[in-house]
A and B are shown apart, each in its own frame.
Chain A
Amino acid sequence: MKRLSRLRRHRAAGPILLVFALFTIGTTFQVASAVSNTTTTAADRSATIEEGKQLFLKGCSSCHGLNAEGGGIAPSLIGVGAASVDFQVGTGRMPMADMSTQAVRKKVVYTPEEINALATYVASLADGPAVPTDAVLNYERDGSVAQGGELFRTNCAMCHNFAAQGGALTQGKYAPTLMGVEPKQIYEAMITGPQSMPVFSDKTITPAEKLSIIKWIKAAEKEPQLGGTALGRVGPVTEGLLVWTLGIGLLIGVAVWLAMKAR
């Protein structure tokens, strides 16, 4: 007993323990990510859930709680559904790097298999919106650009800008641009309402209408710049900035030249 106590106070005890702990975490991670992830059978599914749980405990539980029950700094994930996890992790918004205003789109940390495992785990806690399948997302076939435009202007344009370029909200929050966002992620955002965004229920905007909105956004991405440069398509702000700086700057320059004594 005395010997153990002496060993514990040894100079090298701290570093050795640290190495041991890192080794344990590393190997557990290896074991966890080695698990296969196809969810065809119930056994596979429970294996995926277990893998997702391990990933969750390592990557998410410090904020969202050990049982995804939420905490002072992060919401509960019970009932948010697989679609929510797929959106937040699949766009790199989670894990969050900076807690100040809102989670921003950034480099995705997890592999698609890991995201699937996390989503399956969170979906196993309580029912929630599922990740839309590729069959559902056939917007090219099932959507209508004209209808999508009408829906977009009524439901989305006030935050995301009339050309889906994004816009400002209160206190530094903002609605991000929708240019280059995957159709699946747009769909997931509408059914889950991430962060400041409200939910757009399937009854008030039907799945077919959601596909129309996606088709319109994809059409807007390809919209040519007919008038020279589009200046970010954010309306009078950049146009005004250009006129007030470049245009008036040029006028001032000419005025100074006019009034200069000729040599």
Chain B
Amino acid sequence: MSNEIELIKDPGLPAHVHRRADDDEKYAKRAETQVSILFLLSAFGTVLTIVSYVFIPTDKFIFIPVMGETNAEQLLLGLGMAIALFCIGAGAIHWAKTLMPDNEVIAERHEFRSEDEDRAEFVKTVKAGASAAGLGRRPLIKRSLGLALGLSGLTPLLLLRDLGPLPKENLQKTSWKAGTRLVTDPGDRPIKPADLEVGAVAQTLPELAPGEERTLNNIGKDAVLLIRLRPEDFNLDAERLSWTHEGIIAFSKICSHMGCAVALYEQQTKHLLCPCHQSTFDVTRAAKVIFGPAARPLPQLAITVDADGYLVAKQPFTEPVGPSFWERSS
């Protein structure tokens, strides 16, 4: 056996294979017709788009099998544009593939470095320009220009301020205070324990003080879900049990994972499901996470009844509601 490594020879370019249209005028003619048909189809698509935009009333509906009752104008606008754009592209590709020259061409690589003379000439030009501008002789211009350029860089930094202001306590606190009534959302009616049957739920918000407005920011953190179970179904410690009232338990609806509204309550399993990432909370065990990416149970709102018998918050939430954030203590 020989120890010499046999070098693989440069195979060179594959032989140029002629296309049918290269040799036979019949095929070339056919390709020409095909390309023209594609371009004409494209033109038809554009005309279809314009005609359907101008002449079809916007409230005209037609029945299309599989799709059902469909808006005629929208359908034809879309079809027309799709045909117009697709056929231009398809025609161009077919043209290039069948009729344009397909001979392989070799472009040799060149060195990137410029000739020494050219480089010397460039340096000379720059130096001459600099001395003509007189930057060396006029330091005032040089310094003031430096200042102007430097300061202009501050503007983008200034715009970073728009990332603020800092949330301060807004993430830590909700509108719930001791004695705040729970009212229906929507409807703003206070709720009595007897209004809820076992197995019932109610979407609630804190009652507004006179003159107060509900903002989306507030709804986004104040939303609370009331659920009524049989008291014997609870599996809570003494403190959490004292936060419930006659089998009614209240949780923040804002998911502790990403802040979606958790309100898919399954009455039979007594599980609360978040629709966004399928975090599942067990209502009987103070919304303990039993599945999914949530890290913490949903905060429970302590509830009781006021002198008029309406459900009220016993105290504010004891922890921030919603997802984690930097300043959150736990």
Asked if B43 is at the interface of the complex by the 8 Å CB criterion, the answer is: no
B201 touches A198 (CB 8 A): yes
Asked if A60 is at the interface of the complex by the 8 Å CB criterion, the answer is: no
A203 touches B266 (CB 8 A): no
Asked if B129 is at the interface of the complex by the 8 Å CB criterion, the answer is: no
B275-291 interface mask toward A, CB cutoff 8 Å, 1 = contact, 0 = none? 10010100000000001
For chain A, the bracket of interface size reads 35 or more
Segment 229-267 of B: residues with Cβ below 8 Å from A: 261, 263-267
Alpha-carbon separation in the docked complex, A156 to B105 (Å): 67
For A201, the chain B residues whose CB sits under 8 A away are: 195-197, 200, 202
Chain A, residue nearest B67 (CB) = A229
B98 touches A262 (CB 8 A): yes
Given contacts A204-B191, A228-B75, contact A198 B68 (CB under 8 A): no
A152-178 interface mask toward B, CB cutoff 8 Å, 1 = contact, 0 = none? 001100110000000101100101000
Q: Which of B89, B191, B265 has the most CB of A within 10 A?
A: B265
Q: Which of A147, A169, A200, A257 has the most CB of B within 10 A?
A: A169
B200 touches A263 (CB 8 A): no
The main secondary structure of chain B at its interface with chain A is mixed
Alpha-carbon separation in the docked complex, A228 to B300 (Å): 45
Alpha-carbon separation in the docked complex, A147 to B188 (Å): 13
For B187, the chain A residues whose CB sits under 8 A away are: 204-206, 209
Alpha-carbon separation in the docked complex, A263 to B98 (Å): 7
A226 touches B74 (CB 8 A): yes
A226 touches B71 (CB 8 A): yes
A to B contact number (C-beta, < 8 Å): 110
A96-122 interface mask toward B, CB cutoff 8 Å, 1 = contact, 0 = none? 000000000000000000000000000
B70-114 interface mask toward A, CB cutoff 8 Å, 1 = contact, 0 = none? 110011001000000000011001000110001000000000000
For A147, the chain B residues whose CB sits under 8 A away are: 186
Given contacts A204-B191, A226-B74, contact A170 B267 (CB under 8 A): no
For chain B, the bracket of interface size reads 35 or more
For B200, the chain A residues whose CB sits under 8 A away are: 193, 198-201, 204
Asked if A196 is at the interface of the complex by the 8 Å CB criterion, the answer is: yes
A228 touches B74 (CB 8 A): yes
Asked if A150 is at the interface of the complex by the 8 Å CB criterion, the answer is: yes
Given contacts A158-B275, A204-B196, A262-B102, contact A197 B267 (CB under 8 A): yes
B70 touches A229 (CB 8 A): yes
Asked if B192 is at the interface of the complex by the 8 Å CB criterion, the answer is: yes
Asked if B324 is at the interface of the complex by the 8 Å CB criterion, the answer is: no
Alpha-carbon separation in the docked complex, A206 to B202 (Å): 12
Asked if A258 is at the interface of the complex by the 8 Å CB criterion, the answer is: yes
Alpha-carbon separation in the docked complex, A147 to B184 (Å): 14
A198 touches B267 (CB 8 A): yes
Given contacts A201-B197, A204-B191, A209-B187, contact A229 B68 (CB under 8 A): yes
A170 touches B195 (CB 8 A): no
Alpha-carbon separation in the docked complex, A106 to B129 (Å): 89
B186 touches A167 (CB 8 A): no
Asked if A151 is at the interface of the complex by the 8 Å CB criterion, the answer is: yes
Given contacts A169-B273, A195-B268, A262-B97, contact A224 B227 (CB under 8 A): no
Offer 26 A-B interface pairs, CB within 8 angstroms, sorted by A. A147-B186, A154-B203, A158-B275, A159-B264, A169-B273, A193-B200, A196-B268, A197-B267, A198-B199, A198-B200, A198-B201, A198-B265, A201-B195, A201-B197, A204-B196, A204-B202, A205-B184, A225-B67, A227-B74, A228-B78, A229-B70, A254-B89, A254-B93, A260-B97, A261-B17, A262-B98
List 7 additional A-B contacts (Cβ < 8 Å) besides A195-B267, A204-B187: A154-B203, A158-B264, A167-B275, A199-B196, A199-B197, A202-B195, A203-B191
